[in-house]
Amino acid sequence: MINSILAANPHITIFGIDIYYYAIIIVSGIAIAIALFAYFLKKKGYDPYDAVDYALWIIPLAILGARLYFFLFPYDGQTSNWARFWNFRDGGLGIYGAVIVGYVVGYIVARVKKQNFYQISDLIIPGLLIAQCIGRWGNFVNQEAFGNVVTDPSWQFFPFAVYIDRLGGWYQATFFYESLCTGIGFVIVMFMLRSKHYRTGWLASFYGVYYGTVRFIIEALRSDSLYLWVGGFNTGIKISQAVAIFTILFGLYRLCYIYRKELYAKYKSLFSSSYKETVASLAVLGGLIGVSVVTSVILFVVGEANLVLVGITLLVAALLMGCGVAINIDRLRRFCKDTREPAVCTQEGKTVKCVCPTCGKEWSFTAMDWARAVFKDRQPPERLPVAVEKPEKAKEL
């Protein structure tokens, strides 16, 4: 196998410096990602050199995030030696750490540059997917990120399985599965970006749902996963599966936010009045919160690692739905209790003063703005493409 040859000699030497194939593959993926980002920035009317500004901040900090992720969540049966944190040549990176830190840093840079972060993140996604597709082949060189042992000789061939020299056997080539899936994801987002129905936030939302699903499934097959540790206790939860669930939920949330007007219009059409719609929303959210909390408690009592993970997810969902309950309580307070008609309300600070236009009744209440702030979109308006005037042709004499 070619990976055995590469594993025996994993680097080239230039001027006495060993440059590993893994590093060459990773850097190649990053370079292509930056080039694609610059290309799409230009297509959308931005300065393509903005890609350099983002790269100079995101890439170094994302690498630190990937390293930190690896050290915070070590392999089963291992402990992290923090004294060797800065020795990157030892290896040890976690892609989710890079994605999380990169997302936060990208948001900050976009805010500083007064650009729409959701549009910028959409333009980063194609490059991110192709970089992940290429980068996974670094695992092929290092003989890592593999799955369970393959004992059936009829399946002992690449790309289904890969031979691991240090273990002397064939294992599921999970690195290849992920590389293939992210490559397919790249093709899909390219079509999405060119679609006439494209909306800002599509690609980032798709990435959250798509890659989260891919990673959750493939992580279940891997035999060299990173785990969530509490103190010195291994919870048995594969940390990348936990992050994948939150990534999927966040992607779904952003997708719902994109189509919030259409979804709300269809939901509202089910009711004859705004008052009934608000009361029904409170009842539905309250019921879902109750079911989520009870189910979480049951899963915690059972105690199996993956079930606990689902329980934690349900609790987070319950907290978000709790914000929805608070928002709808504020909405309900804006209706007159006698006529059940919407009042004319004005807000000064946190105090809302209402007057019923029918019966003249007046009342006031303290708004729970903290709940609405959770779902508030603070993005600046989209930046429209810059119109480039073409020079007029010189008149012929």
pLDDT for the residue 8 = 65
pLDDT for the residue 4 = 65
pLDDT for the residue 383 = 43
Domain range for 247 is 2-258
C-alpha 274/C-alpha 219 separation (Å) is 45
pLDDT for the residue 387 = 40
Summarize pLDDT for 186-210 with one digit per residue, the tens: 999 999 998 989 999 999 999 999 9
Considering the domain architecture, whether residues 102 and 243 belong to the same structural domain is answered as yes
All residue ranges of the chain with pLDDT < 50 are 378-397
Considering the domain architecture, whether residues 141 and 23 belong to the same structural domain is answered as yes
Considering the domain architecture, whether residues 37 and 169 belong to the same structural domain is answered as yes
Q: Which of 222, 237, 258 is the last residue of a domain?
A: 258
Angle at 201 between CA 382 and CA 193, to 5 degrees: 95
pLDDT for the residue 135 = 92
**Cα 327–chain centre separation:** 26
pLDDT for the residue 372 = 76
The number of domains in the chain is 2
Summarize pLDDT for 81-129 with one digit per residue, the tens: 778 888 877 777 888 889 999 999 999 999 999 999 999 999 999 999 9
Whether residue 159 has a cis bond before it, omega within 30° of 0: yes
C-alpha 128/C-alpha 135 separation (Å) is 10
DSSP state of 143: T
pLDDT for the residue 228 = 76
C-alpha 39/C-alpha 49 separation (Å) is 10
Asked if the structure places residue 245 within a domain, the reply is yes
Asked if the structure places residue 320 within a domain, the reply is no
Report the b/e string of 297-317 with b at 16+ CB within 10 A.
eebeeeeeeebbbebbbbbeb
Considering the domain architecture, whether residues 142 and 242 belong to the same structural domain is answered as yes
Considering the domain architecture, whether residues 366 and 248 belong to the same structural domain is answered as no
Q: Which of 216, 231, 258 is the last residue of a domain?
A: 258
Asked if the structure places residue 331 within a domain, the reply is no
Considering the domain architecture, whether residues 254 and 341 belong to the same structural domain is answered as no
